[in-house]
Chain A
Amino acid sequence: MSTLRRAFHRAMLVGAGGAVGGVARMLVTVLVPVAAGAPEFAPPLLLAVNLSGSLLAGFLRGLLEREDRDGAWVDAFILVGFCGGYTSYSGFVAMAAVGSPWIVAATLVLCPFAALLGMRLSGGYPARPAGNPR
């Protein structure tokens, strides 16, 4: 496959994953609070979205590290596309600008740990002593 075709193929996968992820985020953080008549649900729901997306991304990154095979479509469609489109840093910052300090603190602390947990769960980044490579 030529470089141009490969780039186009990747862009299609990332775009499709991003569209699905963006719709999932909109469903959870916008449409659910509106349907429930409870806008105060939006910040904790955005936290849940960012945490679950970070956990999934960490799991997939660990899996791709562990598996010795071509995971190009998993990387493009799910990891970069879906997880990237599903989670939102701009929404988090906009939320932080209007308040919700506990949600902000929880997001900053827990998202990296969620990714770390995902990596551990997939077995891609096992805890091992330094100087003892697999």
Chain B
Amino acid sequence: MLLAAGDMLEMPATFALVAVAAVGSALGSVARDWTVRAFRARASRADLGILCVNLLACVVVALVPATTGVLHALFVIGLAGGLSTWSSLAVEVAGAMRERRWALVALHVPGAFAMALAVFLAARVLAGGAS
């Protein structure tokens, strides 16, 4: 747990966690941009790049133990949060809806969610954190 509800927010420690999360998010965002652009350049499919980074981020979240504040801030809130995205996915799905490409909508809304949840739960079991 990063911080528990009711905890006093001590400023220096909180600022440190925010700074660590900012670094992780910056790295994750750059990695996402490179991945999506690589998929767009090589396969003309930015949507598959988004799917790929979202699944990878779910693995990261499942594998990182949720007990230490700095690790949680760096990898879960920062890196995985920056690596994954809802906004780009929503824009891709909105474009597919506008063009009435319903198979693509099905792939990226219920399909991607089912895949991501399965990957997350499988990674959590592998990490020994299944409950």
A binding-site residues for B, Cβ under 8 Å: 10-11, 14-23, 25-27, 30-31, 33-39, 50, 53-54, 56-58, 61, 76, 79-81, 83-94, 96-97, 104, 107-108, 111-116, 119, 125
Query: Bound state CA distance, A106 and B35, in angstroms?
Result: 28
Do B30 and A31 have beta carbons less than 8 Å apart?
no
A80 and B29 in contact, given A57-B90, A85-B81 (Cβ under 8 angstroms): yes
Do A116 and B77 have beta carbons less than 8 Å apart?
no
Docked complex: B67-118 residues within 8 A CB-CB of A: 73, 76-78, 80-91, 93-94, 97-98, 105, 109-110, 113, 116-117
Do B57 and A90 have beta carbons less than 8 Å apart?
yes
Do A16 and B26 have beta carbons less than 8 Å apart?
yes
Do B87 and A87 have beta carbons less than 8 Å apart?
yes
Q: Which of A57, A88, A89 has the most C-beta atoms of chain B within 10 angstroms of its own C-beta? A: A89
CB of A48 to closest CB in B, whole Å: 12
16 contacts between A and B (CB under 8 A): A22-B25, A34-B7, A36-B5, A54-B87, A80-B33, A80-B88, A83-B88, A88-B85, A89-B57, A90-B54, A112-B90, A112-B105, A112-B109, A115-B91, A116-B94, A116-B98
The 10 residue pairs across chains A and B that have the minimum distance between CB atoms? A18-B29, A22-B25, A57-B87, A54-B90, A89-B84, A115-B90, A87-B86, A90-B57, A15-B26, A115-B94
Query: Bound state CA distance, A81 and B65, in angstroms?
Result: 26
User: Chain A residue with minimal CB distance to B28?
Assistant: A18
Do A108 and B117 have beta carbons less than 8 Å apart?
no
Select which of A84, A91, A125 is within 8 A of B32 by beta carbon: A84
Query: Bound state CA distance, A14 and B97, in angstroms?
Result: 27
CB of B43 to closest CB in A, whole Å: 18
Contacts of A91 in B (CB 8 A): 61, 77, 80-81, 84
Query: Bound state CA distance, A48 and B14, in angstroms?
Result: 23
Do B2 and A30 have beta carbons less than 8 Å apart?
yes
Do B22 and A22 have beta carbons less than 8 Å apart?
yes
Query: Bound state CA distance, A27 and B15, in angstroms?
Result: 11
Select which of A21, A81, A114 is within 8 A of B90 by beta carbon: A114
Contacts of A53 in B (CB 8 A): 86-87
Do A21 and B7 have beta carbons less than 8 Å apart?
no
Contacts of A30 in B (CB 8 A): 2-3, 77
Do A93 and B29 have beta carbons less than 8 Å apart?
no
Do B91 and A58 have beta carbons less than 8 Å apart?
yes
